[in-house]
Chain A
């Protein structure tokens, strides 16, 4: 299966659980399982190639100029991690099916889980570090959703937030590190970067890049001092903990360190940072884990400790260390996932995870007991279980590691870590399952159904099989280790054996196990000492830091963002003008290259009218109705300007838009005060005047210099002029650009227009369903109303004109491709025809005669335009490719039929719908309770028999 498909499957599948939710829990889990299984099988189809040592790749150039290519690769390391992610994912899904309670929304859970799974698979298969970063951030986001899945629990929300903050910050640091790395090498492709070890390590930017990348890895993999988020993430449902903290999320950091191992490792900086952090984490995690009473917290800290172990092994920079690290990733994933799931079972059955309230469960839950014993002993490093093998390797590696010039430091600390590790494993078994049976469990425990115990039980197969017969997996482990090492060195080990002879590592192992048992016997006094000792609480520190950051942000935001919007606008305008001035002063402004065209008296007269209207607007804007008239003049002069400067289409559009805008503003003014009071001081007005003049001068200067110079580079307009008729079949180049060359833009624009209209509709609905409704209904108009609200002359006139205007609209629409016109203008013209009916006979009369809701008209328009675009797919052409032909239907002249006309029809409908929906929404606000909706088109109608005049008088007042 293609690598793209393997990565895409979980993402695509993430849509399904939500859709299947109503089909029941079984369907929901089933479809998730199937999707994961498909990806898993797809991965396995690549297994032969990978096992043969090949690297499977899939490449698509996305933005090659930026080095951003969607390249995937599958080598031993990626295959190994993908296998863990998908394989354990399958078990987790099966387990979650039984684990989640009836009131948990399973669709939501599995959607998050699949998103997370896809992001993880994406990380391990990426061959481009930019793509890897995207997936990396996706894991942070999706794990946030998973950890906070139980939204009703404050711990869940806090834990999720903490995880997101810590891993998100690390992710940011890593973006920086990766970009530096890409800059050093000159490529963002991993396969290229991995070939450039010397180049990277000799670069002066190596250390910053290393630190930034390690910050990302350490936060993700919960290494000291960022280990504290992981235990708090335990508020998540157990399947999430089992998945995130055994095989996936926290291993992402490990994966990345392994991935980057060939180019970053082997330097003293890497060794000190990685081994140091790993060692501290391993010991600290193990010590804390021993004294945790919550089963999941114990496991969480043990995970921290084991991650430290793996990190330490990667840090040593030897090939043996890398191999041991990978082997331990495998072993840890197996026993830790099983242990988490078992902890979930115990919680599920006894309704508590507090070890102090448990004990003696071995008779009540024999199956769970068996699983936990095997897994925990493996974790403790008992022979013939898989954990023993990799722990031996770790100890072996530790004896050869010299940190800070001391040959004893690492071995001693490694032994201490192992000792505590063994101790908490014994405590996990002993205090939960052994001992006398109690009669005060919060619930009556017994083994659950196979849905819960089978997934962890299956994991016991690798635990035991690898432990007894390591040679079965040894080739695979070596393969993975080789792809970690890359071409840097050769892997020296030849076999994975249980018995190495009487080597120091064996003695260290024995010390650890015996010491662990001794610690267990001394547990009570030790616990007392531990609880008496002062310990820094990471959560408190974290929250203090967050609170300080919030205070800082507040201190900056509140004084500057105090809701004085006009001040923001003033500052912004002033700043933009200054920036423009600076650019003008420092840039080169060449002499004009164009001749100024002479202006005749008519042009000057037009200009004067525009200026007069604009000036009048500034000085008389307090009379709002007058202001509307003045702005109408401005719009009219702009339209005239468009005609004059050879833009007939623009003029027609501006003119019709002007009409509907004025109607709209009049409708709004109906509710607003009719005067703007004088509130601002003279000083304030003077200040605004200065800012306005400065902005105006800036705009003038820019426009003037712009107009007086020719294009710097040849314009692409020539292409449009040359191809409009040949390629688009139309002589109106503007319209051909709209519906053909840049049809995609227009498609987007009609969608925006439709959204704007729907937004207006939604706002109106909100107003009409809220407290405003009563006020609107009982409103007394502040202006005297006309006695004859629907005058006969107007009604008759608009009715007569309606078909004529529609005809004009039809004509404008059809000629649009070759002459000025088209869907936009025709749509506006037809809207005006319809609006006239509303104005003449009132909203309710017109609305009652409306057959198609305007939402539908917008939708139909967008749909028609979209389908027209999709239609070209069936001819193997890209979206919105147009075609045209000429037909002749007698008695008409020969005319042109273009698919672009269908697109233009969509534009037309969307414009009509959007304009009408906006205006209609405004008119709906104007309805009042005590004014009855008239069922007649006009108030005074001589042809009517009943007594209309009385009604009219009542209705009008």
Chain B
């Protein structure tokens, strides 16, 4: 099971990195989302894996899974939604403004203009 989770994290990371290295905004955003999954699962798994022990206190149950990473990851999931939304909005704004959804600055557009001031 540990092997499955670890390899899932690895595969999500690999796919996430590959997509973040693409040249258009949309795949980059998808790549960041995949990386987010990988990081969240990794953080969650730092409490170690346990089946059938949700951290809901019950009489007579002594073993629970680790609640702390779960709480941290819960907020991380919500925040990553906010961050995804911001990145999408920035990408969308750039595309609508310039009709170009490339991630890289156009060639030759090095910062000469701003230095002239």
Contact = CB atoms under 8 A, between A and B. Distances in A.
Given A653-B74, A703-B9, A824-B74, A660 B81 contact: yes
Nearest to B78: A824
A715 B55 CA distance: 15
A756 B85 contact: yes
B59 to A, nearest CB: 10
A648 B9 contact: no
Contacts of B67: 717, 720-721, 724, 733-734, 737
A614 B70 contact: no
A703 B42 contact: yes
Contact of A697 (B10, B42, B47, B51): B10
Given A673-B101, A706-B46, A734 B5 contact: no
Interface string B1-28: 1111111111111111111111111111
Contact of B90 (A695, A717, A753, A763): A763
Contacts of A771: 97
A631 interface: yes
Interface in A594-628: 594, 596-599, 603-604, 607, 610-611, 614-615, 617-618, 621, 624, 627
A680 interface: yes
A749 B78 contact: yes
Interface string B77-101: 1111111111011111101110001
Given A703-B9, A749-B75, A776 B18 contact: no
A158 interface: no
A922 B78 CA distance: 18
A627 B88 contact: no
A898 to B, nearest CB: 15
Interface in A160-180: none
A207 B114 CA distance: 43
Interface in A548-575: 554, 558, 561-567, 569-570, 573
Nearest to B67: A733
A538 interface: no
> Which applies to chain B's interface (DSSP): helix, strand, loop or mixed?
helix
A921 interface: yes
B116 interface: no
A743 to B, nearest CB: 11
Interface in B37-85: 37-38, 40-42, 44-58, 64-68, 70-71, 73-75, 77-85
A756 B83 contact: yes
Contact of B55 (A567, A642, A646, A918): A646
Contact of B93 (A603, A617, A746, A766): A766
A597 B85 contact: no
A443 interface: no
A596 B3 contact: yes
Given A671-B95, A706-B45, A734-B70, A757 B103 contact: no
Interface residues of A, number: 122
Nearest to A754: B82
A911 B111 CA distance: 40
A908 B19 CA distance: 33
B56 A819 contact: yes
Given A566-B103, A692-B14, A695-B17, A921 B6 contact: no
A776 B46 CA distance: 46
Given A699-B10, A721-B67, A597 B1 contact: yes
B97 A770 contact: yes
Given A563-B106, A645-B65, A763-B89, 17 more contacts: A599-B4, A631-B30, A642-B44, A646-B54, A650-B73, A672-B25, A692-B17, A692-B18, A696-B17, A699-B10, A704-B3, A707-B48, A732-B56, A733-B64, A749-B79, A756-B86, A911-B78
Interface of A: 554, 558, 561-567, 569-570, 573, 594, 596-599, 603-604, 607, 610-611, 614-615, 617-618, 621, 624, 627, 631, 634-635, 638, 641-642, 644-650, 653-654, 657, 660-661, 664-665, 668-669, 671-673, 676, 679-680, 688-689, 691-693, 695-704, 706-708, 710-711, 715-717, 720-721, 724-725, 731-735, 737-738, 742, 745-746, 749, 752-753, 756-757, 759-760, 763-764, 766-767, 770-772, 775-776, 818-820, 824, 828, 911, 914-915, 918, 921-922, 925
14 contacts: A564-B104, A567-B104, A594-B2, A599-B4, A607-B7, A614-B12, A615-B11, A638-B40, A664-B88, A688-B18, A691-B17, A706-B45, A742-B71, A752-B82
